Amino acid sequence: MMHGERPGFQGRSDDSLAWLGTAPIPAAPYHDPAWFELEREAVFRRSWLQLGHVCELPDIGSFIRREIEALNVSLLIVRGRDGEIRAFHNVCTHRGTQLVEEESGRRSTFSCPYHRWAFGTDGALLAAPDFDRFFVDKADCALPRVALDICGGLIFVHLGTPDKDLRDDLGPYATMLDGFPAAQATTFSEYVYEIDANWKLTYDNFQENYHLRFIHPRSGAPAVGEDNPFGYPVKMGFHGPHRTQTIWTNPDPAPKPVQAQSFGRAARFAMADGTAGPHSRDYLALFPNFFILGSPAQPFSHTVWPIDARRSRGVIRLYWKGEDDCASRRYAREYAMASARDIHAEDRDVIEAGQRGLNSGALKHIHFQTQEALCRHLFTAVDERVRAYRADLAGTAPRPVSRAEAMA
């Protein structure tokens, strides 16, 4: 039995997670700039990345611009005349000028501000002044296209050459995602923050409940109880580099009156809207940097973007179906976002304190317990990608390595 666990709580056993290993994890990947440079190419240029939602592109010509700072990439995501959503590099094929500075909008064409090359919503070059003086065909000057796929209403892109389409990559989690409230969303609330912490350290905070009792005694109290004082998940699952867990709920949570009123209203609206599905306590962590909850009362997603080895940016969204058609619905949604921000505010200082400690170089290793298995799994998936990338650079196939070597 784990220290602090009560006999009534049936947590994951060490044996069921033995395949993940138990060795200490090297600390350098959480602060070392050289490792971060490898992650940029090995992880973020070679993975499906979640960038938005179809509700942001309601009409033909609707577009959103997305920056992937770690890769120096600006993307233009557009709904074309045929209704298809496509992604392009936000770069004129004449001399590289970025076409769009706005975060979102609607256009029938995209014109370069420098020399007025004009592109259609399908990325094709439509016109360019004095084009007969160039030594190239218009067909060869289309905007560089980026692989894009959609699952559960969520937009993903891949900046490399994907070896699997999105649904194959997600496996059974694609079907789960289709059943989450976000799949039916028509609008969302958003909160963006920056934090002085490595993206993995930031992300890990939201995929373990070991800290819940200590950091969230006020906001997290309903999620713990006598039989499960740490609020550990009921179960965990893994598919490739992705993972899931089912959140434990105290059968007698005794929430505060305002909380009970607000989430009760949200739950009733979700039932009426048809967004209360079978995954209300499920959490999906999709590699590398996105996770989402199936809760209809607080349909929460969080993407953690790296800025550099020791800084990251988070995008928190709550996805909703329908507009605020009454004061009661507006109140429930505002409370859901306010409570999400409150919980995050409780986390921020300890995450940054952890980063400062790691930056000192005092630790060569960090440690994960069984109930932090999702954290270990993320590190292992990143480590495998980095090793494969290094092997590609060397022109060799990655040799099998022992667990001791992998953790060195």
Give pLDDT tens digits for 256-267: 555 555 555 555
User: Could you tell me if 78 and 63 are in contact, meaning their C-beta atoms sit under 8 angstroms apart?
Assistant: yes
d(CA 187, CA 337): 14
CB atoms within 10 A of CB 163: 9
- pLDDT of 276 > 80? The answer is no
d(CA 124, CA 78): 13
Q: What is the pLDDT of residue 396?
A: 73
- pLDDT of 14 > 60? The answer is yes
Higher pLDDT, 139 or 212: 139
User: Could you tell me if 236 and 284 are in contact, meaning their C-beta atoms sit under 8 angstroms apart?
Assistant: no
Higher pLDDT, 364 or 222: 364
The region of weakest confidence among 281-285, 293-297, 361-365 is 293-297
Q: What is the average pLDDT value for the chain, to the nearest integer?
A: 87
**Arithmetic mean of pLDDT, 34-44:** 98
- Kindly indicate the confidence band of residue 7, based on its pLDDT and cuts at 50, 70 and 90: very low
- pLDDT of 5 > 50? The answer is no
d(CA 156, CA 148): 6
Q: Where are the beta strands (DSSP E) in 22-84?
A: 25-26, 48-53, 62-68, 73-79
User: Could you tell me if 372 and 21 are in contact, meaning their C-beta atoms sit under 8 angstroms apart?
Assistant: no
Which residues share a beta bridge with 225?
228
**Arithmetic mean of pLDDT, 274-284:** 73
User: Could you tell me if 331 and 268 are in contact, meaning their C-beta atoms sit under 8 angstroms apart?
Assistant: no
- pLDDT of 187 > 60? The answer is yes
What the block records as the tokens of 28 is: 């350098």
Amino acid at 76: L
Pairing of strands 118-120, 125-127: antiparallel
Q: What is the pLDDT of residue 2?
A: 35
Higher pLDDT, 279 or 386: 386
Q: What is the pLDDT of residue 194?
A: 97
**Arithmetic mean of pLDDT, 346-373:** 96
d(CA 348, CA 317): 17
User: Could you tell me if 74 and 90 are in contact, meaning their C-beta atoms sit under 8 angstroms apart?
Assistant: yes
Q: What is the pLDDT of residue 407?
A: 43
235 SS3 class? strand
pTM of the model: 0.88
d(CA 47, CA 45): 6
**Arithmetic mean of pLDDT, 219-232:** 66
Share of the chain above pLDDT 90, in %: 68
**Arithmetic mean of pLDDT, 121-129:** 98
- pLDDT of 125 > 90? The answer is yes
User: Could you tell me if 369 and 21 are in contact, meaning their C-beta atoms sit under 8 angstroms apart?
Assistant: no
**Arithmetic mean of pLDDT, 222-240:** 77
User: Could you tell me if 369 and 191 are in contact, meaning their C-beta atoms sit under 8 angstroms apart?
Assistant: no
Share of the chain above pLDDT 70, in %: 84
Residues 6+ apart with CB under 8 A from 226: 6, 8
Place of tokens 């973007």: 305
Closest C-alpha among 157, 182, 152, 189 to residue 68: 157
Q: Is the dihedral of CA 254, 259, 262, 266 positive or negative?
A: negative
Order across the sheet with 125-127: list the strands. Answer: 109-111, 118-120, 125-127
Q: What is the pLDDT of residue 338?
A: 86
The region of weakest confidence among 3-12, 224-233, 252-261, 308-317 is 3-12
